[in-house]
Chain A
Amino acid sequence: MRIDGKGLVDRSKKLRFQFDDIGYSAFEGDTVASALLAAGQRLMGRSFKYHRPRGVLTAGGEEPNALVTVGQGAAQEPNVRATTLEVHDGLRVRSQNAWPSLKTDEMAINDMASPCLGAGFYYKTFMWPRTFWEKFYEPLIRRAAGLGGLSGAHNPDSYEKAYAFCDLLVIGAGPTGLMAALTAGRAGADVLLLDEDSRMGGRLNAETYIVDGMPGSDWAAEAVAELDSMKNVRLMTRTTLVGAYDHGTYAALERVSSHLGTAAKGAALETFWRIVAKRAILAAGALERPIAFENNDRPGIMTAGAVRAYLNRWGVSPGQRVAVFGNNDDAHRTATDLIEAGVEVAALIDSRPDAVLKGHAFPTYAGGMVTGSTGRLGLKRITVKSESITEELEVDCLAMSGGWNPTVHVTCHMNGRPTWRQEIASFVPTPGSVPGLEPAGACNGDFSTAACLAAGVAAAKSALKELGLKAPRSTVPDAEDSAYCLSPLWAVPGKGRAWLDFQNDVTVKDVKQAATENFRSVEHMKRYTTQGMATDQGKNSNVAALALLADATGRGIPETGTTTFRPPFVPVSLAAFGAGAQGEGFAPRRLTTSHHVSVAMDAPMIEAGLWYRPSYFPKPGETHWRQSCDREVGYVRNAVGICDVSTLGKIDIQGPGAAELLDLVYTNMFSSLKVGRVRYGLMLREDGHVMDDGTTARLGAQHFIMTTTTAAAGNVMQHLEFVHQALRPDLDVRFISVTEQWAQFAVAGPKSRELLNDLLDDRIDNESWPFMACGSVQIAGVGGRLFRISFSGEHAYEVAVPARYGESLFKLLLERAEALGGGGYGMEALNVLRIEKGHITHAEIHGRTTAFDIGFARMISGKKDCIGQTMAAREGLIDPDREQLVGLKPVGSVKELTAGAHLFDRTATATRENDQGYVTSVGFSPTLGHFLALAFVKRGPERMGETLRLVDHLRGIETEVEICSPVFFDPEGGRTRG
Chain B
Amino acid sequence: MRLTCPICGARDRREFYYQGDAIALDRPAPDADAAAWDGYVHLRDNPAGVRRELWHHEAGCGSWLVVERDTSTHEVHSVALAVDVAEARG
Q: Do chains A and B touch in the complex (CB under 8 A)?
A: yes
**A residues adjacent to B (C-beta < 8 A):** 245-249, 274, 276, 414-415, 435, 686-687, 718, 721-722, 725-727, 729-730, 865, 869-871, 874
Whether the Cβ atoms of B86 and A869 lie closer than 8 Å is no
What would be 23 A-B contacts, judged by CB atoms less than 8 Å apart?
A: A246-B1, A249-B1, A276-B12, A435-B75, A686-B41, A721-B56, A721-B62, A721-B64, A722-B24, A725-B63, A725-B81, A725-B83, A726-B54, A726-B82, A726-B83, A726-B86, A727-B25, A727-B27, A729-B83, A869-B30, A870-B32, A871-B41, A874-B34
Docked complex Cα distance between A686 and B37 (Å): 10
- 4 shortest A-B CB distances, which residue pairs? A246-B1, A247-B2, A865-B30, A725-B64
The total of interchain contacts (Cβ-Cβ below 8 angstroms) comes to 63
Which residues of chain B are near A245, meaning CB under 8 Å? Answer: 1
Which residues of chain A are near B83, meaning CB under 8 Å? Answer: 725-726, 729
Whether the Cβ atoms of B56 and A247 lie closer than 8 Å is no
State the Cβ distance, B83 to closest chain A Cβ, in Å: 5
Which residues of chain A are near B87, meaning CB under 8 Å? Answer: 729-730
Whether the Cβ atoms of A726 and B1 lie closer than 8 Å is no
Whether the Cβ atoms of B2 and A246 lie closer than 8 Å is yes
Whether the Cβ atoms of A870 and B30 lie closer than 8 Å is yes
Docked complex Cα distance between A247 and B2 (Å): 6
Which residues of chain B are near A246, meaning CB under 8 Å? Answer: 1-2, 13, 74
Interface residues of B in 30-59 (CB under 8 A from A): 30-32, 34, 37, 41, 54, 56, 58
Which residues of chain B are near A248, meaning CB under 8 Å? Answer: 2
Nearest to B90 among chain A residues (CB) is A730
Docked complex Cα distance between A725 and B54 (Å): 11
Whether the Cβ atoms of A870 and B37 lie closer than 8 Å is yes
Docked complex Cα distance between A722 and B12 (Å): 21
Docked complex Cα distance between A246 and B74 (Å): 7
Docked complex Cα distance between A722 and B64 (Å): 7
Which residues of chain A are near B76, meaning CB under 8 Å? Answer: 247
Docked complex Cα distance between A656 and B73 (Å): 44
Complex partner residue of B17 from A274, A718, A871, CB under 8 angstroms = A718
State the Cβ distance, A734 to closest chain B Cβ, in Å: 11
Whether the Cβ atoms of B54 and A249 lie closer than 8 Å is no
Q: With an 8 A cutoff between CB atoms, is B78 at the interface? A: no
Docked complex Cα distance between A871 and B40 (Å): 11
State the Cβ distance, B29 to closest chain A Cβ, in Å: 8
Whether the Cβ atoms of A718 and B1 lie closer than 8 Å is no
Most buried by B among A414, A727, A870: A870
Docked complex Cα distance between A865 and B28 (Å): 11
Whether the Cβ atoms of A726 and B17 lie closer than 8 Å is no
Which residues of chain A are near B19, meaning CB under 8 Å? Answer: 722
State the Cβ distance, B45 to closest chain A Cβ, in Å: 19
Docked complex Cα distance between A247 and B82 (Å): 23
Which residues of chain B are near A729, meaning CB under 8 Å? Answer: 82-83, 86-87
Which residues of chain B are near A726, meaning CB under 8 Å? Answer: 24-25, 54, 64, 82-83, 86
Interface of B is mostly: mixed
Docked complex Cα distance between A435 and B73 (Å): 10
Docked complex Cα distance between A874 and B40 (Å): 14
Docked complex Cα distance between A414 and B32 (Å): 43
Whether the Cβ atoms of B63 and A247 lie closer than 8 Å is no
State the Cβ distance, B64 to closest chain A Cβ, in Å: 4
State the Cβ distance, A682 to closest chain B Cβ, in Å: 17
Docked complex Cα distance between A721 and B24 (Å): 13
Which residues of chain B are near A871, meaning CB under 8 Å? Answer: 37, 41
Whether the Cβ atoms of B64 and A687 lie closer than 8 Å is no
State the Cβ distance, A109 to closest chain B Cβ, in Å: 50
Nearest to B40 among chain A residues (CB) is A686
Docked complex Cα distance between A721 and B57 (Å): 11
Which residues of chain A are near B13, meaning CB under 8 Å? Answer: 246
Which residues of chain A are near B31, meaning CB under 8 Å? Answer: 870
Which residues of chain A are near B27, meaning CB under 8 Å? Answer: 727
Which residues of chain A are near B73, meaning CB under 8 Å? Answer: 414-415
Nearest to B19 among chain A residues (CB) is A722
Which residues of chain A are near B74, meaning CB under 8 Å? Answer: 246-247
Whether the Cβ atoms of A247 and B1 lie closer than 8 Å is yes
Which residues of chain A are near B28, meaning CB under 8 Å? Answer: 870
Interface residues of B in 60-75 (CB under 8 A from A): 62-64, 73-75
Which residues of chain B are near A725, meaning CB under 8 Å? Answer: 63-64, 81-83, 86
State the Cβ distance, B53 to closest chain A Cβ, in Å: 12
Docked complex Cα distance between A271 and B24 (Å): 41
Answer whether A727 and B1 are a contact pair too, CB < 8 Å, given A687-B41, A718-B58. no
Most buried by B among A245, A247, A718: A247
Whether the Cβ atoms of B86 and A718 lie closer than 8 Å is no
Docked complex Cα distance between A865 and B37 (Å): 14
Docked complex Cα distance between A869 and B28 (Å): 12
Docked complex Cα distance between A247 and B28 (Å): 36
Docked complex Cα distance between A718 and B63 (Å): 10
Nearest to A728 among chain B residues (CB) is B86
State the Cβ distance, A717 to closest chain B Cβ, in Å: 9
Docked complex Cα distance between A869 and B37 (Å): 11
Docked complex Cα distance between A722 and B76 (Å): 21
Docked complex Cα distance between A246 and B70 (Å): 12
Nearest to B72 among chain A residues (CB) is A415
Which residues of chain B are near A414, meaning CB under 8 Å? Answer: 73
A686-B41, A725-B81, A729-B87 given; 4 more Cβ-contact pairs under 8 Å? A249-B1, A274-B12, A725-B63, A726-B25
State the Cβ distance, A863 to closest chain B Cβ, in Å: 12
Whether the Cβ atoms of A727 and B41 lie closer than 8 Å is no
Nearest to B63 among chain A residues (CB) is A725
Docked complex Cα distance between A730 and B75 (Å): 32
Which residues of chain B are near A730, meaning CB under 8 Å? Answer: 87
Whether the Cβ atoms of B30 and A727 lie closer than 8 Å is no
State the Cβ distance, A692 to closest chain B Cβ, in Å: 17
Which residues of chain A are near B17, meaning CB under 8 Å? Answer: 718
Docked complex Cα distance between A729 and B80 (Å): 14
Docked complex Cα distance between A661 and B28 (Å): 17
State the Cβ distance, B75 to closest chain A Cβ, in Å: 8
Docked complex Cα distance between A726 and B62 (Å): 12
State the Cβ distance, A566 to closest chain B Cβ, in Å: 15
Docked complex Cα distance between A246 and B76 (Å): 10
Which residues of chain B are near A687, meaning CB under 8 Å? Answer: 41
State the Cβ distance, B18 to closest chain A Cβ, in Å: 12
Nearest to A687 among chain B residues (CB) is B41
Docked complex Cα distance between A725 and B22 (Å): 13
Which residues of chain A are near B54, meaning CB under 8 Å? Answer: 722, 726
Docked complex Cα distance between A718 and B18 (Å): 11
Docked complex Cα distance between A274 and B1 (Å): 11
Nearest to B54 among chain A residues (CB) is A726
Nearest to B1 among chain A residues (CB) is A246
Most buried by B among A249, A276, A725: A725
Which residues of chain A are near B64, meaning CB under 8 Å? Answer: 721-722, 725-726
State the Cβ distance, A637 to closest chain B Cβ, in Å: 41
Docked complex Cα distance between A314 and B1 (Å): 42
Docked complex Cα distance between A871 and B27 (Å): 12
Whether the Cβ atoms of B86 and A727 lie closer than 8 Å is yes
Docked complex Cα distance between A721 and B86 (Å): 13
Whether the Cβ atoms of B86 and A276 lie closer than 8 Å is no
State the Cβ distance, A914 to closest chain B Cβ, in Å: 32
Whether the Cβ atoms of B2 and A249 lie closer than 8 Å is yes
Nearest to B76 among chain A residues (CB) is A247
Docked complex Cα distance between A727 and B25 (Å): 6
Docked complex Cα distance between A248 and B13 (Å): 12
State the Cβ distance, A879 to closest chain B Cβ, in Å: 15
Docked complex Cα distance between A722 and B28 (Å): 16
Nearest to B42 among chain A residues (CB) is A687
Most buried by A among B13, B27, B54, B58: B27
State the Cβ distance, A586 to closest chain B Cβ, in Å: 15
